[in-house]
A and B are shown apart, each in its own frame.
Chain A
Amino acid sequence: MSSLILRTATRYIQPILVLFSVFLLLAGHNEPGGGFAGGLVAAAAYTLYAIAYGVEEARRLLYVSPQGLAGAGLLAAAGSGIPSLLYGKPFMTGLWHEGDVPGFGEIAVGTPLLFDVGVYLAVIGVTLSIVLNLAEEE
């Protein structure tokens, strides 16, 4: 589709949507949101780009293949259970590390975050591989 309005709007909306998806991902620990919702929003952002600029351009913007993204996400999610094994705790036990980051204040990083990032990537990957394949088939 070659609508100038859509293309111009997409240039601005798309990055904001990706940013919003990351916000959803990070907010998901204590509030509604999380990897799944964030991943869907990010996938929507790339789908929008695919509608405005075509599937090829969207694939280039994504840089890695959707399948690879899904695989990496699954690996990350599975890997988030491993540290707990090393500490001798049952599988998937949440481990947290709290620390001060200059300019951010106190933040906590833990394996559940890694799990959520994995879900996020996997959802983007699976959704986009479906959407882009369907769009290409036309």
Chain B
Amino acid sequence: MLPIVVNVVLGMLGLALVLTCIRLLRGPSMADRVVALDLISTLAVGMICVYAISTDQDVYLRDAIVLAVIAFLGTTAFANYLGKGGQP
């Protein structure tokens, strides 16, 4: 049962990743791209979690936390930059 669920979830996350990448490439505004980047890292966090479940290794969860922190920080910094009137 578990392998099937893992594969399905990974497939869904992968599809979401592809769609987000399209958004990242097409833009059109900087804010769209920032949101897309944030979403990509969130999806990566999800993938790491799924992988942690499938391999039954909780150490991977640490990586997920760190990645989430860095992504959050990056997005905040981008928002800060855009808010201060950087190039849109």
Chain A interface residues (CB < 8 Å from chain B): 1, 6, 17, 20, 24, 27, 31-33, 37, 40-41, 44, 47-48, 51-52, 138
A-B pairs with the 5 shortest C-beta distances? A1-B80, A32-B59, A44-B73, A51-B76, A51-B80
What is the total of A-B residue contacts with beta carbons within 8 Å? 34
- The reply to whether A32 and B69 form a contact with Cβ atoms under 8 Å apart is no
CB closest chain-A residue, reference B83: A1
Please tell me the size bucket of the interface on B: 10 to 19
Chain B interface residues (CB < 8 Å from chain A): 59, 62-63, 65-66, 69-70, 72-73, 76-77, 79-80, 83-84
Chain B contacts for A44, CB-based, 8 A: 69-70, 73
- Cα–Cα, bound, A138→B83 (Å): 14
- The listed residue (B59, B66, B76) touching A48 by CB distance below 8 A is B76
- Cα–Cα, bound, A33→B62 (Å): 8
